[in-house]
Amino acid sequence: MGFGQGLSGLNAASQNLDVIGNNIANSGTVGFKAGSATFADVYASSRVGLGVQVASINQRFTTGIVSTSGNQFDMAIDGAKGMFVVTQPNGAMLYTRNGQFLADKDHRIVNAQGQQLMGYAPGGTNLIGMTVPVGNIAPQATSTLANKVNLDANADVVPPTSEILARVVLTQGGVDTTYYYRPATNDWYSDAAGTTAAIPADGAYTTGTPAVAVNVAGGVPDVAIPSTGSNVAYVPAQPAVVFDPSNSDSFSKMVPLTVYDSLGNEHRVEQYYTKREPVGGNSIWEVNYVVDGVPPVPPANTATLSFDSAGRLVGGSPTSITFTPGGGTSPADPVNIVVTYDGSTQFGGSYSQDFVQNGYATGEYASMSIGSNGELIANYTNGAKQVMGTLALADFSNLQGLQPVGGNAWAETANSGQPIFGTPGSNGLAVIKGQAVEKSNVDMSQELVNMIIAQRTYQANAQTIKTQDQILQTLITMR
């Protein structure tokens, strides 16, 4: 036994204690990965070993506990695969699991070391530095308006806009058809659009059984209804009610909403629903759109919705609203809004309406949020959101080949291989949890046990040196 073995053991135990001490010291460091010393024996040409050496210092790249921080720029990699990509001021690229970031004076998203977080621009494939948006978000003119309404099937019918003196309802094959008398042209028509029907202006209507005699002598129709048969019903004369936003008797329901032009200016659109006479077995609702208090001039900004006997929408969607913004000192583009009523119904019950329009006014930047797929989403005071970019993650074929450079970062080496870039959640990479950080993966109880073992190892190697010293002293004192 020589001094060399004991010295190598002291050196190895000392380095092991250094690694353990470093783990304990960084137990509270965000994104820190605990290390462990790997030892190897040393042999020469003899069969007796020459001691021990530290073969390598490995790091355990297991996932630490993810905890909420509340900081809008903090982010945690929720999984074992992937590292944040950051660049130093000199352009060198580093990799880290520490997701504590902030915005610097130049609106760059950086860590405490001033290294900028890297990612992709929306739709881009090249790595760029991530930044916080400044200024207002551009307004968006409303181009779509999706309505989903329920119109009350029990609402009273509002007579059409043309003058009506009398109506005749004929039932044929289970279908009711209403005919209106139009004195201006002395004829009959079967819908509110004024389509002339086949019913004669004078004489007998003989299609039905029994026949209906129609006499319009003197301009006043006189419908003779036989005492037998049930396929004909006469409705007494009633005056027409012309649509007027100021007259609540001229419509059934009004729903207001706000839309936006190309400059972000608000415009009030009122949707007036009016129940009309059924046509061909379907219920008919007329919709008039009043923009900024200006009633429509048919056929512009008007629509007709048709519902079958089950209350399902069968016609009238989509339609459109068009207007040219007026007033103000800055002209805006004409507005053309596609209006849909898909999924709307006509059931017996109260009115209900849900609508979504895609326009918004300008807004100031308010905060940043991070999606699980790594999208950096800017939130604005007008409620709008905008994706500013998607952060990049990197993975390596050999994580143990990375070179620790301090500051919770690693550098690429020949042993690690080139980085494989991707976005969170793709190619097996982990997802991101916003406003959270990944704690150190140091197991304090295990490290304390390892420390005791390393201490005993150090003491035992010191004892071998002491024993060798005693043997040498014996040899020196021999005579």
For residue range 63-81, list pLDDT tens digits in order. 999 999 989 999 999 999 9
pLDDT tens for 319-369 read 999 999 986 778 899 999 999 999 999 999 899 999 999 999 999 999 999
Please state the rounded mean pLDDT for residues 281-301: 91
Residue predicted with more confidence, 21 or 166: 21
With 60 as the cut, is the pLDDT of residue 226 above it?
Answer: no
Residue predicted with more confidence, 391 or 466: 391
pLDDT tens for 107-145 read 999 999 999 999 999 989 999 999 999 889 999 999 999
With 70 as the cut, is the pLDDT of residue 186 above it?
Answer: no
Please state the rounded mean pLDDT for residues 162-188: 57
What pLDDT score was predicted for residue 157?
86
pLDDT > 70 in the chain, percent: 82
What pLDDT score was predicted for residue 67?
93
What pLDDT score was predicted for residue 451?
93
Report whether CATH 2.60.98.20 matches the domain 139-158+241-361. yes
What pLDDT score was predicted for residue 478?
77
What pLDDT score was predicted for residue 97?
95
What pLDDT score was predicted for residue 139?
94
pLDDT tier for residue 299 given thresholds of 50, 70 and 90:
confident
**Domain map (residue ranges) of the chain:** 3-62+441-476, 78-131+370-426, 139-158+241-361, 162-239
Please state the rounded mean pLDDT for residues 453-478: 86
What pLDDT score was predicted for residue 4?
78
With 60 as the cut, is the pLDDT of residue 30 above it?
Answer: yes
pLDDT tier for residue 232 given thresholds of 50, 70 and 90:
very low
With 50 as the cut, is the pLDDT of residue 92 above it?
Answer: yes
What pLDDT score was predicted for residue 242?
80
Please state the rounded mean pLDDT for residues 213-229: 42
H/E/C letters for each residue in the chain? CCHHHHHHHHHHHHHHHHHHHHHHHCCCCCCCCCEEEEEEEECCCCCCCCEEEEEEEEECCCCCCEEECCCCCCEEEECCCCEEEEECCCCCEEEECCCCCEECCCCEEECCCCCEEEEECCCCCCEEECECCCCEECCECCCEEEEEEECCCCCCCCCCCCCCCCEEEEEECCEEEEEEEECCCCEEECCCCCCECCCCCCEEECCCCCCEEEECHHHCCEEECCCCCCCEEEECCCCCCCCCCCCHHHCCEEEEEEEECCCCCEEEEEEEEEEEEEECCEEEEEEEEEECCECCCCCCCEEEEEECCCCEEEECCCEEEEECCCCCCCCCCCEEEEEECCCCECCCCCCEEEEEECCECCEEEEEEEECCCCEEEEEECCCCEEEEEEECEEECCCHHHCEEEECCEEECCCCCCCCEEECCCCCCCCEEEECEEECCCCCHHHHHHHHHHHHHHHHHHHHHHHHHHHHHHHHHCCC
What pLDDT score was predicted for residue 43?
83
What pLDDT score was predicted for residue 182?
57
pLDDT tens for 383-435 read 889 999 999 999 999 999 999 999 889 999 999 999 999 999 998 999 999 99
With 50 as the cut, is the pLDDT of residue 210 above it?
Answer: no
